[in-house]
Structure 1
């Protein structure tokens, strides 16, 4: 007897523009593996909506009245007794001042609102699978911003939790390489790289690859252009 089809990815859309909510909703509902289970026009509505609908992914606008996407992301991840959904932040600005704070608040990725329909659907699937996602222009912004910052604080005590091989993997994750690319570069199996990434996340108390990138730059393990 064939295995039953997997449950669709449950998505909540949060945006203060009705046309955006309706457009994204129609696009995602047209996918066989995605189901839009709710929408909200303001970040202040999303906590109760998430509690009620239990989505896998929240598409979060970053600039909204009353409660912005940053505060809403924090509120979602502060909810006790609930499997927290993955938050994919949608923004019009690739140089948004909220990018770094939202990553620290628990966002799993960023996508610009001018992305193609195919990119949006793919992004939902990527973050739902447990991976992290950053638009290329956002990654460039991350690197440029850290290059302009003062010298990082001493985090040697934190990095000392990692083995030399884990540090190697962390550096390569921070440059945007996939597990397959890291495996090829370090002459390891892809499964071994996945194990190293899992151990880095556990040892440093990080949520996903996006936070590994931030931690690598903040700690000085990786520097722009180096």
Structure 2
């Protein structure tokens, strides 16, 4: 399963790449730190999942969600953020996200959901 990672912090991107390397059947095929680079990667690589932070170096993760759907991206859009999930989870869903994960408290759930998706893709 191919993943594009959209995160403005290089440190966090590296941590996530290490974490995702432990998920069987998952490969990070591209990384971006801003909105335009994210959309270029999505268009050029056709990932299965885009894992996006709300706050980016340039642009916005919310706009990545919207624009990805506008260009016909049919894969999963997962948001990984440290923003208040009580507020942002619903907002992200309205902008096209399939799931919202809190960076501090939901990494185990993210890994489990990605493993489930990778297993399902492999089985099909």
Same topology, TM > 0.5: yes
| Structure 2 residue aligned with 1:110 | 100
Q: How many residues align?
A: 120
Structure 1 runs not aligned, ≥5 long: 1-8, 131-226
Question: Which residue of 2 is the match for residue 152 of structure 1?
Answer: none
Give the alignment of 1:36-115 within 5 angstroms. 36-80=28-72, 83-95=73-85, 97-115=87-105
> 1:48–1:30: structure 2 CA closer, same or farther, 3 Å change rule?
same
* C-alpha distance 30-96 of structure 1, shift in aligned 2 (>3 A): same
Q: Distance in 2 between matches of 1:67 and 1:127?
A: 28
Q: Give the CA deviation at 1:15.
A: 0.5
Is the Cα contact below 8 Å between 2:54 and 2:79 reproduced in 1? yes
Structure with a larger share of its residues in strand: 2
Indicate conservation of the 8 Å contact 2:80/2:103, yes or no: yes
Contiguous gaps of at least 5 residues in structure 2: none
Q: How much has 1:67 moved relative to structure 2?
A: 1.4
Query: CA offsets, 1:168-224, max 9 Å, x none?
Result: xxxxxxxxxxxxxxxxxxxxxxxxxxxxxxxxxxxxxxxxxxxxxxxxxxxxxxxxx
The TM-score normalised by the length of structure 2 is 0.83
The runs of 4+ residues in structure 1 deviating greater than 6 Å are none
Cα distance in structure 2, aligned partners of 1:96 and 1:54? 30
Contact conserved, 1:86 with 1:127, CA < 8 A, in 2? no
